[in-house]
Amino acid sequence: MSSMIPFLQQIPLFAQLDESELLRLADIAIVRTYRKNANVFMEGDPKQAVFFIHKGIIKIYKIDSDGNEQIVSFLKEGDMFPHTGFFDNSPYPATSTIVEAAELFVIPIQAFEQLMLDVPTIAVKVMRVMGEKLREFQSKLQAFVTQDVNRRIISFLVRMADNHGQLSGNQLKIDIPMTHQEFANMVGTTRETVNRVMNNLKKEGIIEMNRQGIVIYDMKRLKEMM
């Protein structure tokens, strides 16, 4: 499975592993392909593995008490899910569905735990990276909480563009269908607020949102509004 090494090297969680450690990791990894709309796992299922996206887009969502879908995030190539990772025995915290045909690298949790016992340096290096990521997350969370809602919406748009945008001429297209309510859930505001901000951005010729996704006409101006 040495063909996995270049991909595994790009995953932040494994960034400190040397070649021999990456080879041991690749030995326990499994490659799986999924069609569009297939579920990788369901919320509440026993957690048996952690997944890394080699190709495709994954939607992570939860179902609220009224049976409505609440989108948590969209994930792309190089991302890991679930974010609770290897060191939490709780069930999968949300449902994951394929938005765009995907190839995933799957690492079974039991096999990974045994690998860390066999090669303790892997455990030390992975936990060191996790500590750095936790500090980074806390910093981002603090910035998110202190932003006003308009900037939160614009920051989310910029992040979506950076992660999923595809350049088409002078336009940046985000081909991920999302309703204003789903957008509001992800930003932590109301649908009415999202409607207002998006309509203002549309009137200024900066973006357009429809059933197919989002088109950004002026990325530079959008970033200046953050």
Question: Three-state SS string across 58-118, please?
Answer: EEEEEECCCCCEEEEEEECCCCEECCCCCCCCCCCCCEEEEEEEEEEEEEEHHHHHHHHHH
pLDDT at 146 over 60: no
pLDDT, tens only, 150-198: 888 888 898 888 888 888 878 889 888 888 888 888 887 888 988 999 9
> pLDDT over 70 for what percent of the chain?
94
- CATH number for the 145-224 domain, one of 1.10.10.10, 1.20.120.1200, 1.20.1290.10, 3.40.50.10810? 1.10.10.10
pLDDT, tens only, 41-77: 999 999 999 999 999 999 999 887 777 778 888 898 8
- Section 132-148 average pLDDT: 67
Q: How confident is the model at residue 2 (pLDDT cuts 50, 70, 90)?
A: low
The CATH architecture that domain 2-133 belongs to is Sandwich (2.60)
Q: What is the pLDDT of residue 68?
A: 75
Q: Assess whether the previous peptide bond of 82 is cis (omega < 30° from 0).
A: yes
pLDDT at 128 over 70: yes
Pairs from 159-162 (Cβ < 8 Å, separation ≥ 24):
160/74, 160/214, 161/214, 161/216, 161/219, 161/222
- Section 76-92 average pLDDT: 85
Q: Where are the domains of the chain?
A: 2-133, 145-224
The sign of the dihedral angle between the CA atoms of 174, 178, 182, 183 is positive
Cβ-contact 77, 56 below 8 angstroms = yes
